[in-house]
Structure 1
Amino acid sequence: MTQRYFITGTDTDIGKTLATRALLQAAKGAGWRAVGYKPVAAGCRRTADGARNDDALALQADSGIRVPYEQVNPLALLAATSPHLAGRDEGRTLDPAVMTHGLEILARQAHWVFIEGAGGWFTPLGDSLSFDQWVADQHLPVILVVGLKLGCINHALLTAQAIRQAGLPLAGWIANDLSATPHRRADYLATLRQRLVAPLLGEIPWLADPDTAALADFIDLGPLLAHSREDVNAAERA
């Protein structure tokens, strides 16, 4: 059974891509066929091969299976803004069926699919569609990336509450240092550990050059493996 996880964050530019890369590296290092998926990417560059997004390219590079860029990022938008605005600028409608089809293609090829969102939990994709609705339709367990900064406790608790209100499991959370000297790091972590009812999957320190780091070293896949076994057992009982 393919394990699929949606990675969201407490804000934009909070470290979702870094955390997704770390999860991919950890799963790949454990011998699993893992692939990254960024169904919607806003802020792409024009290239001879088409629109390309640096975050999606990073997920493609860290995936344990080789897939074309278009399978990693089927909806590539040029403007670095909310996807619904970028789509409007280009006269495009972001079709959730395209996102779902892309996920199904990758799920047939991999043991683990890590799906990176855009922005935060309620990021709009159109006039009547937001990312959280698509995640709920796909029944995806969620991993929350918390960027450690002033305000992160409130942002994390609100996002976790919204995830649960959508009827989705919060499979875990990852703490990411946004600076070399994060504000009251130990206190924030202690509070989040106490109040977020989900396992801490890892703490990613401030990295001057993430591309040279062994990101898997910062991730504990144990809680996700336990979640996977629970899913298998439930399927066998059904």
Structure 2
Amino acid sequence: MRTQKKGIFVTGTGTGVGKTLISGAIVRALVNKGYDCGVMKPIESGCDVGKRGLQPRDALYLQQAAKLQDEIELINPCRFQAPVAPYAAVLQGEPDVSWPLIEDCHRQLSERHEAILIEGAGGLMVPIRADKDMSELAHLFGFPVLLVAQSGLGTINHVLLSLEYGKMRGLSFLGIVLNQSTEQKDSSEASNIKIIREKTDLPVMSFPYIKSKNDDATVISESAALLEGHPLMGVILTLLSLRSSG
């Protein structure tokens, strides 16, 4: 499936680096400017069990950030209870990922919105099925990729390896966000940004720690405000060529 719709695919150098935080910030910043952007988290692991079945926290966060009424079943068609890679969850007895279902949900969302932000799960090499990994999901949509990484020690290697693998799989990258996921700053952060810029020639944004971690509404608002006016948002707006309704 190659779509002519506009969109962005957000991936990370691993789990817990801040993909959902950054994805929510981007889509809320777009909404604040009057742009129409849908969201999708095709696959989510580690879902809580609720009265209505598995509850995909990341997908619900994106739905809230985008201020959408789209059904959560479209935003997140494939979910797992086990907090492991999708293929690992399947090996533990959970249902396999349905590629046709993901494609159909994306088609429906694309018909409703001018653009789509899609968030992957984990990093690009995370196995989805025995024969597929997350890079193939990114390739399925054909959107430019935004790479999110932690900002501290070790991130240079993680970023460069992720970029190298993604390019080998035919993906194009629009930029990198180095997210400070803990309150304590790492002494390597300034040099990390400088070196990654030199090595990649991509826009690199340093994203500061957000303190209001327990209040999703506050986190969404604060993180979106940090993005507005940043050169990375200019890259995203140029890429999407969206028309403001405001």
Does TM, scored on the shorter chain, surpass 0.5? yes
1:176–1:205: 8 Å Cα contact kept in structure 2?
yes
Matches within 5 A, 1:1-238: 2-183=5-186, 184-200=188-204, 202-210=205-213, 211=216, 212-213=218-219, 214-219=222-227, 220=230, 221-229=233-241
1:46–1:52: 8 Å Cα contact kept in structure 2?
yes
Secondary structure of the residue aligned to 1:108 is: helix
Identity %: 26
Deviates more, 1:7-16 or 1:163-172: 163-172
The unaligned stretches of length 5 or more in structure 2 are none
The count of residues paired between Structure 1 and Structure 2 equals 229
Query: Deviation at 1:108?
Result: 1.2
In 1, Cα distance between equivalents of 2:206 and 2:34: 22
In 2, Cα distance between equivalents of 1:17 and 1:132: 18
1:34–1:65: 8 Å Cα contact kept in structure 2?
no
Residue type at the aligned position of 2:235: P
Query: Deviation at 1:228?
Result: 3.1
What is the RMSD of the two structures over their aligned residues, measured on CA atoms? 1.7
Query: Deviation at 1:89?
Result: 2.0
In 1, Cα distance between equivalents of 2:35 and 2:16: 28
Query: Deviation at 1:110?
Result: 1.4
Deviations 1:42-92 (A, max 9, x none): 111111122112111101111143111111111111001111111232341
TM-score by length of 1: 0.90
Deviates more, 1:142-151 or 1:129-138: 129-138
The unaligned stretches of length 5 or more in structure 1 are 232-238
Deviations 1:80-136 (A, max 9, x none): 111111123234111222112111111111122111111111110111111111221
1:2–1:110: 8 Å Cα contact kept in structure 2?
no
Residue type at the aligned position of 1:136: H
Residue type at the aligned position of 2:224: A
2:146–2:175: 8 Å Cα contact kept in structure 1?
yes
Residue type at the aligned position of 1:96: W
Secondary structure of the residue aligned to 1:66 is: coil
Secondary structure of the residue aligned to 1:226 is: helix
1:3–1:113: 8 Å Cα contact kept in structure 2?
yes
1:203–1:218: 8 Å Cα contact kept in structure 2?
no
Segments ≥4 residues shifted beyond 6 Å: none
In 2, Cα distance between equivalents of 1:120 and 1:61: 24
Cα 1:34–1:228, aligned 2, differ >3 Å: closer, same or farther? Answer: closer
TM-score by length of 2: 0.87
Residue type at the aligned position of 1:188: N
1:9–1:120: 8 Å Cα contact kept in structure 2?
yes
Query: Deviation at 1:138?
Result: 2.4
1:176–1:203: 8 Å Cα contact kept in structure 2?
yes
In 2, Cα distance between equivalents of 1:139 and 1:23: 19
